[in-house]
Amino acid sequence: MLESGVEDTASDANKKNLFCDLCKIELPNVSSMQQHILGQKHKKLDSAEEERKRVEQKCGFSPNITQDVILNYFSKYGKIIWVHFGHLFVLLDYTEPSAVVKVMEKEHYLGGRHLMIRHRQLKKQTGFTNKADNDDSNDFIQKLKDVPTLESQVQMLIQNLQPHMQQQFPKYRRICEELYNILSVFPHCYVHPFGSTITGLNFNNSDIDVFISGIKRDENDVPYLYKTRTLLLNSQRFSNAVVIRNAKIPILKCVHIKTGIRCDINLKNMLGVCNSQLINYYLNIDSKIRKLMMVLKYWAKVHKFTGQSHLFSNYSLSMMLIFFLQQEPYNIPSVLSLQQNPNCFRFHDGWNGGFQQIPVNSTSVRDTSLLKLLEKFFTFYVEFEYGVNIICPYLGETIKKDQFRDLDTLPNGFDSYKEHIQGGTPLKVNATICVQDPFEHSRNITPIVSASTLDKFVSFCRLGKKLCEDDENTLLYKLLTVVPSNLSQCGLKVQPEFSQFSIPMRPSLKYIEEKIEESSNRQEAIQKAWFKSVVKFTTIVLKDFLKFDLTDLHGSASKTKNNKNEGQADVYDKGEMNRVCYRYQCVGKINLWQARKSTAKNNKSESDTKSKQSIIERRWQ
């Protein structure tokens, strides 16, 4: 009977459903529960729960403590301007640093538990940042003062900026070989490296640019970039693969895991490979040309007129140096003269990217010192007439912009250009500066360089010319550290990063029109009232919601009503209100946007929501 009773009891237990509180699942019987408890999922959750309890017991607040209790406790030390509740932690920010000092000085207990208090350590941003910016230490720049000659200074500069090429080239070769092996599923795939790693103008941690042919089968690169991305990630040899699909030439950014070198891959730009080969050809004419280009590249980087967003590119700077050396007395060959041999033609997208590498023995370059070449470069671009002339390495001589407005006046050699612009896009000659691509003649490689950037470039060239004329002792140190004395006077003072946005005024403004009395100039009164309302609302958003420390720059700017900023009129310019601008200086230390989702989850109070809504509605009225 005893054995029978045991069997009956076990049978009843097996028929009863069981519930796992940890995993939040229901199981049909004891045996299923036993198997579940021994499973990996339950073990991981159980381990995590134990760790949570351990941390909570050591330094966290009890789950029974409400958010209001925590806020009331810490509000005793000062006014809190921002709070974020996470899992077993709270982030707080006070208006006054003195409040932080008071909090840090004391031991804190809440709900019978000890709280661990410390300053927040911000995580460093990761992703495709330019690591070279962090590696270009300024320590060696100070040491340049003790180096007597320019040649020695340049040698020291290159040693500090460039990796040891005997070590780097095997890494580049390995990356290309692995790319080829991974993508060999495409039978006609071929890997073409290009850019600064090929021309020898690379800095430490420069990325490697790669064009891969034989993959895409139509004009749309993006689907094939995603296929390439999948293959690279599956190989486990590349990581951080991201497709930049909206670029002019879509690219795939990734990192080679073994070497840590970043790669930019495209499936379209074979002419970029041709451009790198062309630059490499010119740099090999004389060793001084490569040294000169390294100096100019770093000089432009330090003074921030190369990069993105209305700046020069390193490629355009290389072409400007080549164009300068094509002039008297150096006369290195033009691209047109290198393309006379039909056996060297290489057409890509309808443009000839081929050229014959004719040996050049330029006695003028050989007999001119590096110092004099640098001085002449600065002089050339101080005196160049950017408003009317085009920098044309293809012909090796200056062309008037007007000649590209009337095709009949173009010099010989532009037959391909005339064919391409039939229904296509002509060369953008109306830009601030026009540097024509040596192969793709309808492309201006400096289309978005702003007037202020060009003025800044010319000012630094003028200063560089003067420094070269003075003395070569400590010349490179001065080029990298001295700025023009009139920089702020010409509106070129380096500013912090800025953003701008526009708010169009709608034709119908009933909520304002109802409040404006009839007058002789009612429309102007409506415009002024609308502008005042928008400024007030923008101030509320920046100050009260985004928590910026706000400085109104309009007061000082409006003293001179007709000042221009990048060609844009200041407020009330000439009595017109068709386009007005308002300026603020914003300083903030809280990234509310990045934490917007978690912040929103913690603001579930209906009364709080209604309060915020009423504030917005009241301030808009």
Tens digit of each residue's pLDDT (9 = 90 or more) over 452-490: 899 999 999 999 999 999 877 889 999 999 999 866 444
Residue 507 CA, chain-centre distance (Å), reads 37
Residue 515: CB atoms within 10 A of its CB come to 11
Tens digit of each residue's pLDDT (9 = 90 or more) over 43-90: 778 877 776 665 555 444 555 677 788 888 888 888 887 777 776 678
Determine the Cα–Cα distance for residues 458 and 432; give it in Å rounded to an integer.
Answer: 13
Phi first, then psi, for residue 83 (nearest 5°) are: -145, 145
pLDDT at 104: 85
Please give the share of the chain, as a percent, with pLDDT higher than 70.
Answer: 77
Q: Which is more confident, 287 or 611?
A: 287
226 pLDDT tier (thresholds 50, 70, 90) = very high
Where in the chain are the domains? 2-59, 67-115, 165-268, 301-481, 512-620
Q: Is residue 127 pLDDT above 70, yes or no?
A: no
Determine the Cα–Cα distance for residues 223 and 4; give it in Å rounded to an integer.
Answer: 69
374 pLDDT tier (thresholds 50, 70, 90) = very high
pLDDT at 434: 96
Single-letter amino acid, residue 599: T
CATH architecture of 301-481: Orthogonal Bundle (1.10)
Check: CB of residue 242 under 8 Å from CB of residue 164. no
pLDDT at 497: 53
Mean pLDDT of 366-379: 95
3-state secondary structure labels for all residues of 264-314: EEECCCHHHHHHHHHHHHHHCCCHHHHHHHHHHHHHHHHCCCECCCCCECH
Determine the Cα–Cα distance for residues 580 and 528; give it in Å rounded to an integer.
Answer: 11
Q: Which CATH code, of 2.40.50.140, 3.30.70.330, 1.20.58.110, 3.10.130.10, is assigned to 67-115? A: 3.30.70.330
Determine the Cα–Cα distance for residues 339 and 356; give it in Å rounded to an integer.
Answer: 6
State the virtual CA torsion across 457, 459, 461, 467 in degrees, nearest 10: -140
Q: Say which residue the tokens 């000092």 belong to.
A: 101
Q: What is the DSSP-derived secondary structure letter of residue 217?
A: -
Closest CA to 444 of 387, 507, 506, 390: 390
Q: Quick one: the chain helix, strand, coil %, rounded to 5?
A: 45, 15, 40
Tens digit of each residue's pLDDT (9 = 90 or more) over 76-125: 888 887 777 776 678 888 878 888 888 888 888 887 777 878 777 654 43
Q: Which is more confident, 13 or 596?
A: 596
Determine the Cα–Cα distance for residues 545 and 532; give it in Å rounded to an integer.
Answer: 19
3-state secondary structure labels for all residues of 34-81: HHHHCCHHHHHHHHHHHHHHHHHHHHCCCCCCCHHHHHHHHHCCCCEE
Q: Is residue 496 pLDDT above 50, yes or no?
A: no
Determine the Cα–Cα distance for residues 449 and 434; give it in Å rounded to an integer.
Answer: 9
pLDDT at 300: 94
Q: What is the DSSP-derived secondary structure letter of residue 542?
A: I
Q: Which CATH code, of 3.30.565.10, 3.90.1640.30, 3.40.50.2300, 3.30.460.10, is assigned to 165-268? A: 3.30.460.10
Tens digit of each residue's pLDDT (9 = 90 or more) over 519-567: 677 777 878 888 888 888 888 888 887 878 887 776 544 443 344 343 3
Check: CB of residue 388 under 8 Å from CB of residue 401. yes
Q: Is residue 131 pLDDT above 60, yes or no?
A: no
Determine the Cα–Cα distance for residues 468 and 243; give it in Å rounded to an integer.
Answer: 45
Check: CB of residue 117 under 8 Å from CB of residue 103. yes
Q: Say which residue the tokens 């909206």 belong to.
A: 246
Helix ranges (DSSP H) in 60-212? 67-75, 97-105, 131-135, 139-143, 150-161, 165-182, 196-199
Element (H, E) at 241: strand 238-244
Q: Cis link prior to 187 (omega < 30° from 0)?
A: no
pLDDT at 132: 40
Instruction: Kindly provide the b/e burial profile for residues 480-489, where b requires at least 16 CB atoms within 10 angstroms of the residue's own CB.
Output: beeebeebee
Check: CB of residue 228 under 8 Å from CB of residue 180. no
Determine the Cα–Cα distance for residues 187 and 91; give it in Å rounded to an integer.
Answer: 55
Q: What is the DSSP-derived secondary structure letter of residue 519?
A: -
Tens digit of each residue's pLDDT (9 = 90 or more) over 232-282: 999 989 998 999 888 888 999 999 999 889 999 999 889 999 999 999 999
| Widest distance between CA atoms in the chain | 117
pLDDT at 621: 44
Determine the Cα–Cα distance for residues 33 and 19; give it in Å rounded to an integer.
Answer: 8
Residue 460: CB atoms within 10 A of its CB come to 24
217 pLDDT tier (thresholds 50, 70, 90) = confident
Check: CB of residue 85 under 8 Å from CB of residue 602. yes
